[in-house]
Amino acid sequence: MTDFDTAGTTIETFLNDLASGESTPGGGAAAALTGSQAAALLSMVLNFSVGRKKYAAVEDELRGHLLRTEGMRAELLTLADKDAEAFGAVAACFAMPRTTEAERAARTSSIQAALRGAAEVPFEIATLCAHILEVTAPVAEKGNSNVVSDAATAAHLAQAALDSALVNVDINLKWLKDEAYVTRMQAEVAALRASAEKDYCAARAACTRTLGVEI
Protein backbone atom coordinates (compact mmCIF):
# COMPACT_ATOMS: atom_id res chain seq x y z
CA MET A 1 0.00 0.00 0.00
CA THR A 2 1.63 3.27 -1.10
CA ASP A 3 -1.18 5.83 -1.09
CA PHE A 4 -2.83 6.31 2.28
CA ASP A 5 -6.35 7.61 2.84
CA THR A 6 -7.69 6.16 6.07
CA ALA A 7 -10.62 8.58 6.13
CA GLY A 8 -11.69 7.57 2.62
CA THR A 9 -11.43 3.81 2.95
CA THR A 10 -13.84 1.28 4.37
CA ILE A 11 -13.25 -0.39 7.72
CA GLU A 12 -12.91 -3.75 5.95
CA THR A 13 -10.29 -2.43 3.54
CA PHE A 14 -8.28 -0.83 6.33
CA LEU A 15 -8.34 -4.06 8.34
CA ASN A 16 -7.38 -6.10 5.29
CA ASP A 17 -4.43 -3.79 4.73
CA LEU A 18 -3.53 -3.99 8.41
CA ALA A 19 -3.60 -7.80 8.29
CA SER A 20 -1.65 -8.10 5.05
CA GLY A 21 2.00 -8.94 4.60
CA GLU A 22 2.77 -5.26 4.00
CA SER A 23 4.39 -3.21 6.76
CA THR A 24 2.00 -0.29 6.38
CA PRO A 25 -0.44 0.55 7.76
CA GLY A 26 0.80 -0.73 11.12
CA GLY A 27 0.52 -0.17 14.83
CA GLY A 28 0.82 3.60 14.71
CA ALA A 29 -1.99 3.95 12.19
CA ALA A 30 -4.13 1.54 14.22
CA ALA A 31 -3.46 3.63 17.33
CA ALA A 32 -4.51 6.81 15.51
CA LEU A 33 -7.71 5.21 14.25
CA THR A 34 -8.51 3.93 17.75
CA GLY A 35 -7.94 7.41 19.16
CA SER A 36 -10.22 8.84 16.50
CA GLN A 37 -12.95 6.44 17.58
CA ALA A 38 -12.50 7.59 21.17
CA ALA A 39 -12.95 11.20 20.08
CA ALA A 40 -16.03 10.23 18.05
CA LEU A 41 -17.63 8.59 21.08
CA LEU A 42 -17.15 11.73 23.14
CA SER A 43 -18.66 13.73 20.28
CA MET A 44 -21.67 11.43 20.38
CA VAL A 45 -22.17 12.04 24.11
CA LEU A 46 -21.90 15.77 23.51
CA ASN A 47 -24.32 15.68 20.57
CA PHE A 48 -26.82 13.98 22.87
CA SER A 49 -26.33 16.87 25.31
CA VAL A 50 -26.09 20.18 23.45
CA GLY A 51 -29.39 21.83 22.66
CA ARG A 52 -31.25 20.02 25.45
CA LYS A 53 -32.92 21.93 28.25
CA LYS A 54 -31.53 19.66 30.94
CA TYR A 55 -27.99 20.72 30.00
CA ALA A 56 -28.67 24.38 29.16
CA ALA A 57 -26.58 25.61 32.10
CA VAL A 58 -23.46 23.99 30.65
CA GLU A 59 -24.35 24.44 26.97
CA ASP A 60 -21.42 26.71 26.12
CA GLU A 61 -18.91 24.46 27.86
CA LEU A 62 -20.23 21.36 26.12
CA ARG A 63 -20.14 23.05 22.73
CA GLY A 64 -16.53 23.95 23.38
CA HIS A 65 -15.74 20.33 24.19
CA LEU A 66 -17.52 19.25 21.01
CA LEU A 67 -15.37 21.53 18.89
CA ARG A 68 -12.28 19.95 20.47
CA THR A 69 -13.38 16.34 20.07
CA GLU A 70 -14.41 16.83 16.46
CA GLY A 71 -11.11 18.52 15.69
CA MET A 72 -9.17 15.69 17.31
CA ARG A 73 -11.24 13.07 15.51
CA ALA A 74 -10.30 14.55 12.13
CA GLU A 75 -6.66 15.17 13.05
CA LEU A 76 -6.14 11.61 14.25
CA LEU A 77 -7.42 10.25 10.95
CA THR A 78 -4.88 12.42 9.17
CA LEU A 79 -2.14 11.18 11.50
CA ALA A 80 -3.02 7.57 10.70
CA ASP A 81 -1.91 8.28 7.14
CA LYS A 82 1.11 10.31 8.25
CA ASP A 83 2.28 7.44 10.44
CA ALA A 84 2.14 5.02 7.53
CA GLU A 85 4.01 7.52 5.36
CA ALA A 86 6.66 8.06 8.04
CA PHE A 87 7.33 4.33 8.30
CA GLY A 88 7.44 4.08 4.53
CA ALA A 89 10.11 6.79 4.50
CA VAL A 90 12.25 4.77 6.90
CA ALA A 91 11.86 1.64 4.77
CA ALA A 92 12.84 3.60 1.65
CA CYS A 93 16.03 4.80 3.32
CA PHE A 94 17.07 1.24 4.17
CA ALA A 95 16.80 0.44 0.46
CA MET A 96 19.30 3.16 -0.47
CA PRO A 97 22.60 2.02 -2.05
CA ARG A 98 25.59 1.54 0.24
CA THR A 99 28.41 0.49 -2.05
CA THR A 100 30.69 3.49 -1.51
CA GLU A 101 31.60 5.36 1.64
CA ALA A 102 29.64 8.38 0.40
CA GLU A 103 26.57 6.24 -0.25
CA ARG A 104 26.81 4.68 3.18
CA ALA A 105 27.08 8.09 4.83
CA ALA A 106 24.10 9.42 2.87
CA ARG A 107 22.07 6.33 3.73
CA THR A 108 22.86 6.60 7.45
CA SER A 109 21.99 10.31 7.49
CA SER A 110 18.70 9.68 5.68
CA ILE A 111 17.75 6.83 8.01
CA GLN A 112 18.41 8.98 11.07
CA ALA A 113 16.26 11.82 9.69
CA ALA A 114 13.46 9.41 8.78
CA LEU A 115 13.55 7.80 12.21
CA ARG A 116 12.87 11.18 13.78
CA GLY A 117 9.73 11.51 11.71
CA ALA A 118 8.74 7.96 12.59
CA ALA A 119 9.04 8.87 16.29
CA GLU A 120 7.41 12.29 16.12
CA VAL A 121 4.22 11.27 14.32
CA PRO A 122 3.17 8.65 16.92
CA PHE A 123 4.10 11.15 19.63
CA GLU A 124 1.57 13.53 18.06
CA ILE A 125 -0.96 10.70 18.10
CA ALA A 126 -0.27 10.01 21.77
CA THR A 127 -0.54 13.71 22.61
CA LEU A 128 -3.97 13.95 21.01
CA CYS A 129 -5.09 10.84 22.86
CA ALA A 130 -3.96 12.50 26.09
CA HIS A 131 -6.11 15.51 25.19
CA ILE A 132 -9.07 13.17 24.67
CA LEU A 133 -8.52 11.75 28.15
CA GLU A 134 -8.32 15.29 29.52
CA VAL A 135 -11.78 16.17 28.23
CA THR A 136 -13.44 12.86 29.14
CA ALA A 137 -14.02 13.61 32.84
CA PRO A 138 -15.93 16.88 32.30
CA VAL A 139 -17.98 15.26 29.53
CA ALA A 140 -18.85 12.35 31.83
CA GLU A 141 -19.74 14.69 34.67
CA LYS A 142 -21.80 17.22 32.69
CA GLY A 143 -22.95 15.43 29.56
CA ASN A 144 -26.03 13.31 28.98
CA SER A 145 -25.96 10.64 31.67
CA ASN A 146 -27.85 8.21 29.44
CA VAL A 147 -24.82 7.79 27.18
CA VAL A 148 -21.91 8.20 29.61
CA SER A 149 -21.07 4.53 29.12
CA ASP A 150 -19.83 5.66 25.71
CA ALA A 151 -17.57 8.22 27.40
CA ALA A 152 -16.22 5.35 29.51
CA THR A 153 -15.48 3.40 26.35
CA ALA A 154 -13.79 6.49 24.92
CA ALA A 155 -11.52 6.68 27.98
CA HIS A 156 -10.40 3.07 27.61
CA LEU A 157 -9.85 3.42 23.86
CA ALA A 158 -7.90 6.66 24.24
CA GLN A 159 -5.63 5.14 26.89
CA ALA A 160 -5.01 2.05 24.76
CA ALA A 161 -4.29 4.21 21.72
CA LEU A 162 -1.89 6.40 23.70
CA ASP A 163 0.04 3.40 25.03
CA SER A 164 0.15 1.86 21.56
CA ALA A 165 1.41 5.05 19.94
CA LEU A 166 4.15 5.44 22.53
CA VAL A 167 5.44 1.94 21.78
CA ASN A 168 6.14 3.24 18.29
CA VAL A 169 7.88 6.31 19.68
CA ASP A 170 10.08 4.21 21.94
CA ILE A 171 11.12 1.72 19.27
CA ASN A 172 12.21 4.47 16.88
CA LEU A 173 14.10 6.37 19.58
CA LYS A 174 16.03 3.16 20.25
CA TRP A 175 17.79 3.45 16.87
CA LEU A 176 18.52 7.18 16.92
CA LYS A 177 22.10 8.27 17.51
CA ASP A 178 21.42 11.87 18.58
CA GLU A 179 21.60 11.40 22.35
CA ALA A 180 20.40 14.91 23.20
CA TYR A 181 17.33 14.49 21.00
CA VAL A 182 16.59 11.05 22.42
CA THR A 183 16.94 12.28 26.01
CA ARG A 184 14.58 15.20 25.35
CA MET A 185 12.00 12.99 23.66
CA GLN A 186 12.17 10.38 26.42
CA ALA A 187 11.52 13.11 28.99
CA GLU A 188 8.52 14.32 26.98
CA VAL A 189 7.20 10.76 26.70
CA ALA A 190 7.53 10.25 30.46
CA ALA A 191 5.73 13.53 31.19
CA LEU A 192 2.95 12.66 28.76
CA ARG A 193 2.49 9.22 30.29
CA ALA A 194 2.25 10.70 33.79
CA SER A 195 -0.27 13.40 32.91
CA ALA A 196 -2.35 11.01 30.82
CA GLU A 197 -2.49 8.49 33.66
CA LYS A 198 -3.94 11.16 35.96
CA ASP A 199 -6.54 12.14 33.38
CA TYR A 200 -7.40 8.49 32.70
CA CYS A 201 -7.99 7.90 36.42
CA ALA A 202 -10.09 11.07 36.62
CA ALA A 203 -12.11 10.00 33.58
CA ARG A 204 -12.78 6.56 35.04
CA ALA A 205 -13.79 8.06 38.38
CA ALA A 206 -16.17 10.54 36.71
CA CYS A 207 -17.78 7.82 34.61
CA THR A 208 -18.12 5.58 37.65
CA ARG A 209 -19.84 8.32 39.65
CA THR A 210 -22.31 9.06 36.85
CA LEU A 211 -23.04 5.46 35.91
CA GLY A 212 -23.01 3.95 39.39
CA VAL A 213 -20.86 1.06 38.16
CA GLU A 214 -17.10 0.61 38.23
CA ILE A 215 -15.55 1.13 34.82
- Counting residues of the chain whose pLDDT is more than 70, the rounded percentage is 99
| pLDDT, tens only, 40-97 | 999 999 999 999 999 999 999 999 999 999 999 999 999 999 999 999 999 999 999 9
Tell me, yes or no, whether 107 lies in a domain: yes
Helix axes 148-173, 101-142, angle to 10 degrees: 160
Closest CA to 64 of 159, 169, 138: 138
The per-residue pLDDT for 23 is: 86
Number of domains in the chain: 1
Residue 14 located in a structural domain = no
* Percentage of residues in the chain having pLDDT higher than 90: 94
User: Does residue 174 fall inside a structural domain?
Assistant: yes
pLDDT at 145: 97
Instruction: Please state, in angstroms and rounded to a whole number, the distance separating the CA atoms of residues 161 and 32.
Output: 7
State yes or no: pLDDT of 2 exceeds 80: no
Q: What is the structure's pLDDT at 24?
A: 87
List all residues 6 or more positions away from 22 whose beta carbon is below 8 Å from its beta carbon: 1
Q: Which domain holds residue 196?
A: 21-211
Q: For residue 4, is it within any domain?
A: no
Which positions ≥6 away from 185 have C-beta within 8 Å?
119, 123, 169, 173
How confident is the model at residue 3, as a pLDDT? 67
Above 70 in pLDDT, residue 116? Answer: yes
C-alpha angle 13/14/18, rounded to 5°? 115
CA distance 138 to 155: 12
The enclosing domain of 33 has a CATH number of: 1.20.120.680
Could you tell me if residue 194 is inside a domain?
yes
Contacts of 37 (CB under 8 A, 6+ apart): 154, 157
DSSP, res 50: T
Q: Where are the beta strands (DSSP E) in 4-137?
A: none
With cut-offs at 50, 70 and 90, classify the pLDDT of residue 4.
confident
132 in a domain, yes or no? yes
Query: DSSP labels for 111-156?
Result: HHHHHHHHHHHHHHHHHHHHHHHHHHHHHHHHS-GGGHHHHHHHHH
Residue 179 located in a structural domain? yes
Domain assignment present for residue 47? The answer is yes
